[in-house]
Amino acid sequence: MTQFSTPWVERNKPNLSAIEKLMVGVAMSVAGLAAPILRRFPAAIFFGAVAGGVVGIYLVALLSEAFLGEYHLLRDILAVTGVSLFAAHIPLFAIWWERKVAARIQSRMGPMRVGGWHGWAQSMADGIKLIAKEDLVPAAADAALFRLAPYVTLIPVVIAFLTLPFGAHWIFRNMDVGLLVIVAMLGVEVVGVIMAGWGSNSKWTVYGAMREACQMVSYEIPMGISLLLPVLTIGSLNLVQIGDAQAGGWHTWLAFQSPFMFVAAVAYYITSLASCKRAPFDLPESESELVAGFLTEYSGIRWSLFFFAEYVAMYIVAALAVVLFFGGWSSPISPEWIPDWMGRFLFADNAAARAAQGLILGGPIWMVVKSFFLVFVQMWVRWTLPRIRIDQVLYSCIQVLLPLMLVLLIGQTLWVLWVPEDSLLAMVTRIALSSFTGLAGLGACWIIFKARLKKRALVGVLAVEQLPGA
């Protein structure tokens, strides 16, 4: 007798109360009404939701400033709600985006079904599935540590948003030690990973937790030294002051102030990959060796919380790189480059002029776009480079990055002391480094443009027209 010849035994339907039947009926009615609309206008709904979220956050900010100035508690509640909603939407978008990036690199399509246009609702479908899955706790596990670990991992990275600026006035708490607060919150994440590995009481999870502890403790040292260079250059730990100091155009960004800052920006980005457990430093998970590392025994919503924390941390380290090295919320255009005929409109005292300033000279949109570009590079690196061994991870930190960062710190200190900001050497250095980066960016854009023109001659031509919208 096989599984196909075995008679199907119909299970008894659950006995629902009147309230439960009402809830099920309402849910089915809403699904029946919404499904045709979602299938017909998926792109309009997606971009409308994004635009509505941006407008909603802007209205909350205006409301907080205009009407809630004296009601600090209510203003803080609204601000925390806005920050939390933004943090919650980062994984929702980034998970879908990474699946599409990975698919393109591997000549696949990625999500294409759920929601219509490029499977934009795939993350929401996955979330509903994870919420509905059974939440299991292994019998031999430490139940308290096992249940608490996901929250210890997620909550600190969300708290880090409270001192992360999106603009000169777009910040929940403008603190003089804002940089230290963010670094401290990112450092707490390792505690949650160790709790998850130890509390699961499995050899695979313990190995993953041990690797995370070694990796985080090791790479936080060169990462912290790299953060000292912009602090040393500006003379402040206040992220708003560091961002405002780079508002003079592309060439005033701190990454282009000296050769030491340029190398430090690249080194910080490498250490941030290790901080977020991203490939090629994803040894704590290492599915080819440790099943799933510290995540092995988790399922359902608790499993997803670890990935929520990872994607939020990816955005935070990328945004920190933008604020400290790449101009913050400022655009590459300097206010001094604006012609007089445009300046009369752009610098007027009205809402339209302020909106134009935010689009042209700098604002939260520039901050978010730059940060998500660096998040994209993290995804690009993950699906391009192979995972390195644990001994190579520690070698690259202790014997390569740590000595390099010490040399860069000493070099930047001497640069600040001996090279005036308005000297010829400083100006030539800024122009050379910014021009080199600009030409590299233009070259990458040209390669992408040529690839789009000849996409049918590239690898993966069979996947070009598999599904509509490809």
467 pLDDT more than 50: no
Residues contacting residue 218 through CB under 8 Å, at least 6 positions apart: 274, 393, 394, 397, 398
Amino acid at 249: G
Q: Is-contact 252 246, C-beta < 8 A?
A: yes
Q: Is-contact 280 381, C-beta < 8 A?
A: yes
State the pLDDT confidence band at 263, using cuts at 50, 70 and 90: very high
pLDDT of residue 415: 92
Q: How many Cα atoms within 13 Å fall on the side-chain side of residue 232? A: 21
Question: What span, in angstroms and rounded, lies between the C-alpha atoms of 236 and 242?
Answer: 7
Instruction: Pick left, alpha or beta for residue 291 (phi over 0 → left; psi -120 to 50 → alpha; otherwise beta).
Output: left
408 pLDDT more than 90: yes
pLDDT of residue 62: 59
Residues contacting residue 276 through CB under 8 Å, at least 6 positions apart: 310, 313, 314, 317, 378
pTM score, two decimals?
Answer: 0.82
Of residues 71 and 244, more confidently modeled: 244
169 pLDDT more than 60: yes
Amino acid at 1: M
Q: Is-contact 219 275, C-beta < 8 A?
A: yes
Instruction: Classify residue 15 by burial, with Cβ atoms within 10 Å: 0-12, 13-18, 19+.
Output: exposed
Using a pLDDT cut of 90, give the percent of the chain over it.
17
137 pLDDT more than 70: yes
291 pLDDT more than 70: no
**CA distances in angstroms from 435 to 17, 353, 428, listed in the order given:** 70, 30, 10
284 pLDDT more than 70: no
CA-based nearest residue to 253, from 184, 307, 331, 198: 331
Of residues 300 and 46, more confidently modeled: 300
- Tokens linked to 171: 């910040």
The pLDDT tens digits for 301-338 are 888 888 888 899 999 999 999 999 998 888 888 777 77
The pLDDT tens digits for 2-48 are 554 555 555 566 677 777 777 777 777 777 777 777 666 666 666 67
Q: Is-contact 251 434, C-beta < 8 A?
A: yes
Gap between the terminal Cα atoms of the chain: 45
Q: For the chain, percent helix, then strand, then coil, each to nearest 5?
A: 70, 0, 30
The average pLDDT across 371-391 equals: 88
What burial letters (b/e) apply to 165-195, b meaning 16+ CB within 10 Å? bbbbebbbeebeebbebbbebbbebbbbbbb
* H helix or E strand, kind and range, residue 242: helix 239-244
61 pLDDT more than 50: yes
